[in-house]
């Protein structure tokens, strides 16, 4: 009797864990289907046109969803502090929650808009000043470089002849390139610039509409979540629906923790960069600090992406300060990578350095800069699903689930499940 009950409990446990296999298979099928749809869309021109048109129509909605997701932590923070205060001064608890939600949503939107306005107000004048200074100083720097080159070349007649020959070939190549490529394409270039300007205006307009949509999403987010769960449980059995909801919740924790933590980390790095550059009396302090802070959102490669143009910009103004800037950025990124970043992000992704680099390269290769930003949390979610599936399979087979148990493993006995190590 006890053996029968034990076997029945084992079957029940297996049945409760088995949905992870179904979720893994479903995720695999979804990924393959998305890849096939992607190539199908970009293989045939007609589908590409309709797809781009659909994305253009849905752009405000998609932007609104993104804005709502990014603003949600601020809204939750505001509600967490406003609801207890308003409940003490209002008779109806539901009304207090509604007022707290309204104040928190409006406050979150205004907070972000004020930050963007302040940054633009500081960066645009600095950018204008930097460009003006660069235009004024660049001719003198070029003349100094040419004079240095002439003095060096005069000392070696053979080198002078070689440089003259290279310059003549370069001038001929540039002249032919201007006649054959630049002038015939001038009309197309003007059209492209005009189209790009119109596209920027369209994106800005869609962003404004997206902010409005994000307000509606945040005001009724519980309703949207409830509708999504209702659809899940209407399509899937209860146990599979539970697994799917749990996986989505874990993915949300990974995405939310990583993105909010990375934004905070980048803001701290930007401020520290500005303070350090001001102390060192570097040129373009504000502009360089904003570039370093924004590009720091990209894990691992972000600091180098931002440091390269900033180094060139500072070096053009003062080569020695350019060298100092490189040293300062290396020290700052070591501080971020070893102290600030780990304390803020912690183990939000659960990925090793190798998988972080892998996720950034794959995400950047497929979706550009956006892929580099969201590639790490997206891959961390996939990694979590695969880890759960593998743990379930190993548990069913009576094998250990920790990776350290397999590092020195030689073989597993098929019958007794005995593990042989070196």
* pLDDT of res. 16: 52
The beta strands (E) that lie in 49-199 are given as none
* pLDDT of res. 154: 60
What b/e readout covers 311-330, taking b as 16+ CB neighbours within 10 angstroms? bebbebbeeebbebbbebbe
Greater pLDDT, 269 or 184:
269
Look up residue 116 and give its two tokens. 């963007």
- In this model, does residue 293 exceed pLDDT 80? yes
- Measured from the Cβ of residue 107, the count of other Cβ atoms closer than 10 Å reads 16
The answer to whether residue 44 sits within a structural domain is no
With cut-offs at 50, 70 and 90, classify the pLDDT of residue 230.
very high
With cut-offs at 50, 70 and 90, classify the pLDDT of residue 366.
confident
With cut-offs at 50, 70 and 90, classify the pLDDT of residue 132.
confident
Same-domain check for residues 134 and 179: yes
Same-domain check for residues 225 and 213: no
Domain that holds residue 82: 60-219
The answer to whether residue 11 sits within a structural domain is no
Determine contact, residues 286/126, Cβ cutoff 8 Å.
Answer: yes
The answer to whether residue 3 sits within a structural domain is no
Look up residue 155 and give its two tokens. 């000392």
Give the count of domains, the chain. 2
Same-domain check for residues 242 and 156: no
Same-domain check for residues 160 and 262: no
Same-domain check for residues 98 and 246: no
The answer to whether residue 169 sits within a structural domain is yes
With cut-offs at 50, 70 and 90, classify the pLDDT of residue 15.
very low
Same-domain check for residues 291 and 315: yes
The answer to whether residue 97 sits within a structural domain is yes
Same-domain check for residues 275 and 362: yes
The answer to whether residue 34 sits within a structural domain is no
Planar angle of CA 402, 408, 411, nearest 5 degrees: 90
* pLDDT tens by residue, 303-338: 778 888 888 888 877 778 888 888 998 888 888 877
Same-domain check for residues 140 and 279: no
412, containing H or E segment: strand 409-412
Rounded Cα–Cα distance for residues 96 and 84 (Å): 9
The answer to whether residue 24 sits within a structural domain is no
pTM of this prediction?
A: 0.68
- In this model, does residue 422 exceed pLDDT 80? no
Of 219, 238, 265, the domain-final residue: 219
Task: Label residue 156 exposed, middle or buried (CB < 10 Å: 0-12, 13-18, 19+).
Answer: exposed
Of 184, 219, 254, the domain-final residue: 219
Rounded Cα–Cα distance for residues 269 and 292 (Å): 8
Q: Work out the average pLDDT over 58-86.
A: 87
Same-domain check for residues 155 and 260: no
The beta strands (E) that lie in 67-215 are given as none
Percent of the chain beyond pLDDT 70?
73
Same-domain check for residues 208 and 294: no
The answer to whether residue 415 sits within a structural domain is no
Look up residue 206 and give its two tokens. 């869609």
* pLDDT tens by residue, 185-218: 656 656 666 666 677 788 888 888 999 999 999 9
| Residues β-bridged to residue 419 | 412
**C-alpha 127 chain-centroid distance:** 25
Same-domain check for residues 182 and 266: no
- Measured from the Cβ of residue 82, the count of other Cβ atoms closer than 10 Å reads 19
Of 219, 237, 270, the domain-final residue: 219
Same-domain check for residues 310 and 333: yes
* pLDDT tens by residue, 135-166: 676 666 666 666 666 666 565 556 566 666 66
Q: What does pLDDT average to over the chain?
A: 77
**C-alpha 334 chain-centroid distance:** 20
Rounded Cα–Cα distance for residues 267 and 29 (Å): 39
Backbone angles phi, psi at 37, to 5 degrees: -65, -40
Determine contact, residues 378/363, Cβ cutoff 8 Å.
Answer: yes
Look up residue 148 and give its two tokens. 């240095």
């Amino acid at each position: 009797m006890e053996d029968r009950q034990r076997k029945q409990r084992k079957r029940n446990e297996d049945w409760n864990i088995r949905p992870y296999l179904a979720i893994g298979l479903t995720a695999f099928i979804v990924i393959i289907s998305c890849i096939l749809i992607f190539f199908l869309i970009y293989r045939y021109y007609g589908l590409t046109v309709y797809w781009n048109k659909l994305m253009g129509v849905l752009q405000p909605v998609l932007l609104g969803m993104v804005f709502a997701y990014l603003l949600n932590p601020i809204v939750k923070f505001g509600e967490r502090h406003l609801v207890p205060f308003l409940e003490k001064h209002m008779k109806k608890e539901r009304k207090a929650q509604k007022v707290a939600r309204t104040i928190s949503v409006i406050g979150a939107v205004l907070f972000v808009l004020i930050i963007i306005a302040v940054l633009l107000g500081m960066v645009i004048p600095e950018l204008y000043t930097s460009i003006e200074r660069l235009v004024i100083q660049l001719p003198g720097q070029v003349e100094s470089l040419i004079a240095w080159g002439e003095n060096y070349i005069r000392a070696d007649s053979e080198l002078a002849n070689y440089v003259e020959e290279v310059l003549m070939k370069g001038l001929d190549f540039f002249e032919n390139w201007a006649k054959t490529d630049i002038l015939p394409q001038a009309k197309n270039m003007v059209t492209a610039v005009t189209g790009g300007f119109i596209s920027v205006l369209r994106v800005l307009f869609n962003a404004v509409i997206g902010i409005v949509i994000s307000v509606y999403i945040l005001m009724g987010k519980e309703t949207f979540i409830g509708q999504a769960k209702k659809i899940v449980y209407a399509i899937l059995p209860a146990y599979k629906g539970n697994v799917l909801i749990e996986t989505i919740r874990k993915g949300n924790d990974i995405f939310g923790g990583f993105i909010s933590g990375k934004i905070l980390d980048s803001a701290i790095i930007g401020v520290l960069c500005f303070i350090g550059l001001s102390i060192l009396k570097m040129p373009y302090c504000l502009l360089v600090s904003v570039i370093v802070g924004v590009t720091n959102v990209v894990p691992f490669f972000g600091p180098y992406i931002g440091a390269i143009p900033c180094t060139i910009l500072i070096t053009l103004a003062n080569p020695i300060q350019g060298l100092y800037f490189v040293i300062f950025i290396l020290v700052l990124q070591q501080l971020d990578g070893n102290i600030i970043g780990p304390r803020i992000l912690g183990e939000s992704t659960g990925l090793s350095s190798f998988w972080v680099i892998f996720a950034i390269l794959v995400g950047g290769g497929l979706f550009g800069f956006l892929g580099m930003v969201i590639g790490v949390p997206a891959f961390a979610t996939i990694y979590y699903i695969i880890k759960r599936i593998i743990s379930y399979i190993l548990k069913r087979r009576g094998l250990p689930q920790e990776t350290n148990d397999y590092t020195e493993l030689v073989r597993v006995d098929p019958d007794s499940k005995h593990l042989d190590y070196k």
